[in-house]
Homo-oligomer: A and B are copies of this chain.
Amino acid sequence: MIVVNGGSSSGKSGIVRCLQAVLPDPWLAFGVDSLIEAMPASMQASDAGIEFAPDGGVSVGPEFMALQTAWMEGVAAMARAGARVIVDDVFLGGVASQQRWQKVLAGLDVLWAGVRCESAVAAGREIARGDRVQGMAVSQAEVVHQGVFYDVEVDTTHTESLVCARNIAGRVRRP
Q: Give A residues with C-beta under 8 Å from B.
A: 14-15, 17-18, 20-21, 26-30, 34, 37-45, 49, 63, 66-67, 69-71, 73-83, 121, 124-125, 127-132, 158, 160-163
Contacts and interface: CB of A to CB of B under 8 A. Distances in A.
A129 B18 CA distance: 8
Contacts of A39: 20, 26, 28-29
A124 to B, nearest CB: 4
Nearest to A42: B21
Main DSSP-derived SS at the A contact region: helix
Contacts of A27: 40
A166 to B, nearest CB: 10
Given A28-B38, A34-B38, A132-B45, A127 B73 contact: no
B28 A129 contact: no
B70 A83 contact: yes
17 contacts: A14-B129, A18-B124, A20-B41, A21-B41, A27-B40, A28-B39, A29-B38, A66-B83, A70-B78, A71-B78, A74-B74, A74-B78, A77-B77, A124-B160, A125-B161, A125-B162, A158-B158
A42 to B, nearest CB: 7
Given A14-B129, A26-B49, A28-B67, 11 more contacts: A17-B127, A20-B39, A20-B40, A28-B71, A29-B40, A66-B82, A70-B78, A73-B77, A74-B74, A76-B77, A125-B162
A162 B38 contact: no
Most chain B CB within 10 A, of A20, A43, A158, is at A20
A132 B29 CA distance: 16
